[in-house]
Amino acid sequence: MNRIIFIISVLCLFTTSSCYKNIGRDSLANNPWDKVDFTALGPIRTMHAAPVEVLAITDQEFFRINSDNEVIEERPIGLAADYFGRPALGDWVFARFVEKNTKNVAELHLTRNSNQIFDLIVNDIQVPAGTSISLEGTAAKNVGAFNDDSSQLAFAVELNRTEGSNFGIVIVDINLSGTKENFVSVEVLKVVDIPEMRSNAQRMSSISFIDGAYYVTSKDGGFRVTTSGNYQQVLSGWTLDTFEKEGTIYMTSFQGFDFYKSENNGMIFERVGTASPAKYVFKADDQYFSHENRGFEFELLDDTFEDLRDIVYNEAIQDKSDGDAFWNMIYMGGRYYINVQGEIWYVDDIKLVEE
């Protein structure tokens, strides 16, 4: 028996290089993601791919991460008394929807200047007599969205009246200095009253800015809101998310067969004709990812949006996957990034589970 063990040991000695290469390849294949080296105080609420940086925010910190995956800014932003949904991130501005000094506040920060903060007191925004306005805490994918150059922000509010309440969208114009390091002006352009959209923390699904307009999804339908504050209901029924591919705008729903598209810039939507598993969708580079519910693992949508493929995640990532861990998928500098609770992971190419 000892002789057999000795012979096996000698064989391994002469094939060490090959053995270890195989182990290394298997390990890399099963653990393709690398982790950004930093420590966040609490879970990351959202991320954004700026032109040359990854931007990330927790309840009390803001991070800028360069294309070498180095943290170049770690900014304390303080704990708020309360939070109303996830923050909104743009290239030059980010916004938190919080309670400060018993007031509901859209707290605007500049991504390149920590000393510039503008507090928009939501409760003081002018609305018709007999109406009050406040932030509505919601578990939506997004409760606010910037346009492409961060010169406008749209976010959800609750409009309360004696006869009931419904959601509205506040549109804010933001004028920045040429260096993007100072606020020149912040003005409410319009409060868009959407009586068809009942106010309830669980009813709103998302708000997105796509090709010059905002799209709001909810259990009460899908809505298109222009940058000037005009709206129309484009779909009825439970809608979840909106995304664009090659000039066509798609809207997902709770039911897979209620998958819609618009080929006239969101003015009219019609059923695609085939069911889709797409729910909450994230575009990263030229790939489209979806998860069944907020926080679930991302899966890759195929080119037709009819099928999903499982993605290979590191064991360390899967250990954190408790149904409430995955929040964003973005693409910056030739890499895909996900945030999983308080960590950010990246990979050059998405690896798929073999079928």
Q: How confident is the model at residue 355 (pLDDT cuts 50, 70, 90)?
A: confident
User: How far is the CA of 20 from the CAs of 4, 14, 30, 32, 77, in angstroms?
Assistant: 22, 12, 15, 17, 47
pLDDT tens for each residue of 300-311: 999 999 999 999
Cα 292 from chain centroid?
Answer: 14
pLDDT in tens, 5-41: 333 343 443 343 333 333 344 555 689 999 999 999 9
185 by Cβ neighbours in 10 Å (0-12 / 13-18 / 19+) ranks as: exposed
The answer to whether the Cα torsion of 263, 268, 270, 275 is positive or negative is positive
Concatenated DSSP letters of 114-142: EEEEEEEEGGGS---TT-EEE------S-
Query: Under DSSP, is residue 14 helix (H, G, I), strand (E, B) or coil?
Result: helix
CA dist., res. 210 & res. 212, Å (int): 6
DSSP-based three-state secondary structure for 71 = strand
The Cα 267–Cα 300 span in angstroms is: 28
Alpha helix (H) ranges present in the chain?
2-14, 16-30, 315-318
Non-local (6+) Cβ contacts of 248 within 8 A are 261, 262, 263
Q: How confident is the model at residue 319 (pLDDT cuts 50, 70, 90)?
A: confident
Distance CA 324, CA 139 (A): 12
The pLDDT of residue 321 = 64
Which amino acid does the sequence have at 5?
I
What pTM was computed for the model? 0.90
pLDDT range class, residue 200, cuts 50, 70, 90: confident
